[in-house]
Amino acid sequence: MPKKVRIALDAMGGDVGPSVVIPGAAISLTRHPDTEFLLFGDRGVIDPQLAKHPALKAVASVIHTDVAVSMHDKPSQALRRGRKTSSMWLAIDAVKKGDADVAVSAGNTGALMAMARFCLRTLPGVDSPAIAAVWPTVRGDSVVLDLGATIGGDAHHLVTLAMLGSAMASVLFDLPRPTVGLLNIGVEEIKGREEVREAAELLRAMNLPQLEYTGFVEGDGIGRGAADVIVAEGFSGNIALKAAEGTARQISEFLREALSRRWLSKLGYLLAKPAFKALRDKLDPSKSNGGVLLGLNGVVVKSHGGTDADGFAYAVEVGYEMAKYDLLNKINQMLKLDGGTLVQASAAQEAVS
């Protein structure tokens, strides 16, 4: 019998907790029956939800704790109050102890990052973690990172991000050698930040077997699907993500308004409704729900706090695929590869400069 994927869930995470987390896990289970769940949180709230989902109940263990990190806790508060006791910490700790293959939480991002980093520590060779997510493009999906875990960083940090992101893309999209682009600005005379240019030289010189560096990508190249993996430091990555989300929301608001203004437009909208539904599905944030914390000794997936059961199910499935297809191992291979080639790369760089 093949090994089951063991997923630790912070059942109290998110705006509403178990009433989204449990049904979400149940949905994911129907799609991936080879899953087992560890549910961390208040048994008094979890059990009634679990009673509604017998199939999930059959493969789930509940580990009770009274302590939950609130959505408003600062990371320092969360660590002080919730270390070793909160549902969030315990879910992450299950990964550390080897009881689970991956942890998923819809709890607050700052607390989750702080706890994951504190509990799991960064991988050897990784200076600081990253958040990666799947970005829908006109050409399919891309992995974009870092979406805000680490601000700033030198060329080596960007190269590490390229390796982490391409390991994730190869797992998620089943690509032997994903293409990688560095996010940069398009004004030609300024070729962007120095560390971005340096990272480009490094990636080119390294010519890694597991990723294909293809060059700079401007902000509008992300949505065009210019590369399988788009690498940015956390500040600009977060700005890009949020600017894109804001624009999508703005356009749908304009569209709704425009379509409701005249009865002919309304009729047109009714006739074209399936098309709009298809569009909405394509842009549905819940379908790209699941930011992955990369660079740690274990995989942790962050779901949107305000998501519904369908959205949470997608986050669980991202975790499932990461564990099933052995993301951590791929990342480790990639980093070891780096250990050998970075030296050569520096030498190559010196030779050309």
- Does 238 bind a copy of itself (CB under 8 A)? Our answer is yes
The residues in 11-70 that bind a copy of itself, with binding defined as CB under 8 A, are none
CB of 55 to a copy of itself, least distance (A): 35
Residues written for the chain: 353
Q: Using the rule CB under 8 A, which residue among 55, 258, 343, 347 binds a copy of itself?
A: 258
Residues 6+ apart with CB under 8 A from 20: 14, 106, 307, 308, 309, 312
Nearer to a copy of itself among residue 71 and residue 175 (C-beta) = 71
How far is 40 from 61, CA to CA, in rounded Å? 9
For residue 212, which phi and psi values (nearest 5 degrees)?
A: -115, 110
The residues in 147-186 that bind a copy of itself, with binding defined as CB under 8 A, are 148-149, 151-152, 183, 185-186
Q: Using the rule CB under 8 A, which residue among 51, 55, 278, 343 binds a copy of itself?
A: 278
Q: Using the rule CB under 8 A, which residue among 232, 309, 322, 335 binds a copy of itself?
A: 232
Q: Using the rule CB under 8 A, which residue among 8, 113, 145, 172 binds a copy of itself?
A: 113
- Helices (H), ranges, the chain: 18-31, 43-51, 54-58, 75-82, 87-97, 109-120, 155-173, 194-206, 219-224, 234-259, 263-271, 273-283, 309-324, 327-352
- Does 83 bind a copy of itself (CB under 8 A)? Our answer is no
How far is 130 from 113, CA to CA, in rounded Å? 9
Q: Using the rule CB under 8 A, which residue among 49, 86, 87, 108 binds a copy of itself?
A: 108
Pick from 47, 53, 48: which is nearest to 28 by CA? Answer: 53
Nearer to a copy of itself among residue 103 and residue 112 (C-beta) = 112
The residues in 202-231 that bind a copy of itself, with binding defined as CB under 8 A, are 218-224
Instruction: Give the residues across from 8 on adjacent strands.
Output: 38, 103
- Does 332 bind a copy of itself (CB under 8 A)? Our answer is no
Whole-number Cα distances in Å, 189 to 185, 186, 192, 202: 10, 9, 9, 21
Nearer to a copy of itself among residue 18 and residue 295 (C-beta) = 295
Using DSSP's 3-state secondary structure scheme, residue 4 falls into coil
- Does 305 bind a copy of itself (CB under 8 A)? Our answer is no
Q: Which two tokens stand for residue 25?
A: 């896990």
CB of 287 to a copy of itself, least distance (A): 13
CB of 203 to a copy of itself, least distance (A): 19
Candidates 20-28, 96-104, 234-242, 307-315; binding stretch for a copy of itself (CB under 8 A): 234-242
